[in-house]
Amino acid sequence: MEHSEYSVIIIGSGLAGLFSALKLASYNHLPDGILLITKEILGKSNSKYAQGGIVGVMSQNNKDSVELHVNDTLKAGCGLCEKETVEYISELSDEVINDLIKNGVVFDKDSNGNITFTLEAAHSVNRIMHVGGDATGNGITKVLVDNVRKNPNITVLEHSVVAELLINNENKCKGVVIYNELTGEHQVAYSSATVIATGGVGQLYKYTTNPSCATGDGIDLAYNAGAVIRDMEFIQFHPTALALSPTSNERFLISEAVRGEGAKLVDKSGTEFMGKYSDKRELAPRDVVTRAIYKEMQVTNSKNMYLNASIIDKERLLMRFPTISRICMLRGIDISTSPIPVAPAAHYTMGGIKAEVNGRTSVDGLYAIGEVASTGLHGANRLASNSLLECAVSAYELADFLSFVNLEIPHVIDTSIMKTIDLYKKPIDDADYDIPKLKTRLKDIMWNNVGIIRTENELMYAKSQIAELKDNFKRNRKCANIQEYEYRNMLTVAEIVAESAIQRQESRGAHSRSDFKQTDEIAKHSIITNNNRISTEIAQYAK
């Protein structure tokens, strides 16, 4: 089997993966270079589709402070944020965002040339920065992709998926097994530092704002390598995704920033309803708005509610949200005159691989950054636009940390690693699985039973159905193609989400149980590992 050697291997090409690769390459201490592996084309990720913006407590914004941002984040996180992590990321935001600017990112500015700051739900002041109005993620990742492609110290491997991490006899990660879709072959890459930056798990659900690549690959890899997985029951359902028809699974994101500019949620008769659910109305935290829309849909037996943006000044509306306006217009909706049909959709994973801000996990040599990681920033409910900031800060800190680590290539390959490699040299059977059909079945199970409102009966049913799907899919290690690897990974992560949701017998943040409506006095993280299925740990900031 072909093999190669690199100082650092990065899996995933969203903001976290791209920025960490660039920062590492800038330190000039990596004799064997960087391998960046991406499942599709470089830059296709959740980051690319992020509309709302990026949080920054910037020195030029005299209305904001680290203390205000920390308080807003802790409040949204419902007791599960780690306060020290929140403070650290907030304090570093000015420095890191200025580094993005040095890399070529151009944030929107006013007529005087000053960066503009806008408001989103659950933020106490205007602190959200944007690129291209409502195309922030695309604007940032485009710049970083261009820089990565120009960097001679970064090798990019597209259309490839990591099948398994190479864990040695001492429980240290020493590289990866890769399936290259273009060659149809498996190959090995060795390194003493492997970074998982694979994003979220939105494709577990029938309705999601996430791109097709968000299949939980990194969670599966880390879980099977023995890493600690934390708080996977906390899946954020974005309240306002474009809902064209009951037969369409398309859920194009309608940014929270539209409500931040003054748009109102209404039913089919045009009546506003958020006042019944929160005194903050449209600017309540996402979990509150999502459940309000969901409840109104149930009460009125409707497939969607509506977002009325026509009350915003037309010139400002179209200038501020050009992408949303264009996408809606292509589907026959003029947002300046007509309400936008919206419904919730799976959007963001608050839990993930337990990691420090610099990416360190419980497995030596394995790092996790971005949405795939659980650093303690988001808690039980992510504050809007904190996610891109976390990606940037963690990438920044990872590169700094690895600059002091001995990144020698592991030339001694022990029996554990050889056993894994030998498995991928063997042929597989010729079974023909209908992966699109199987994925659809799994998505339906998750949406109907592990969704916005949960009960023990539904969760137990989901768990049994997922187990049945796993039993019927015999390829739990080597697979025939990327689609099979995705499905394999989705099954693992779906099981983890369902099991975590069963064990959390309370309602907190994005996890809502109709059979356990109370919020426990002591906030606890849920912990799952592949050798000790489920446990808990008390959160640092318990209320």
| Residues annotated catalytic, as ranges | 286
For residue 88, give the H/E element and its range: helix 83-102
Beta pairing, strands 173-180 & 160-167: antiparallel
**DSSP codes, 129-156:** E-STTT-HHHHHHHHHHHHHHH-TTEEE
Residue that the structure tokens 């912990």 belong to: 527
Beta pairing, strands 160-167 & 154-157: unpaired
Residue that the structure tokens 């969670």 belong to: 219
Contact (CB, 8 A) for 57 and 70: no
Nearest CA among 211, 216, 365, 243 for reference residue 307:
243
- Residue 477: both structure tokens together: 């290690």
CA 272/CA 435 separation, integer angstroms: 42
Nearest CA among 47, 3, 337, 10 for reference residue 186:
3
Nearest CA among 103, 177, 167, 166 for reference residue 140:
103
Nearest CA among 357, 349, 16 for reference residue 196:
16
Give helix 386-402 / helix 83-102 axis angle, nearest 10°: 80
Distances (CA, A) of 333 to 64, 312, 326: 36, 16, 9
Contact (CB, 8 A) for 293 and 343: yes
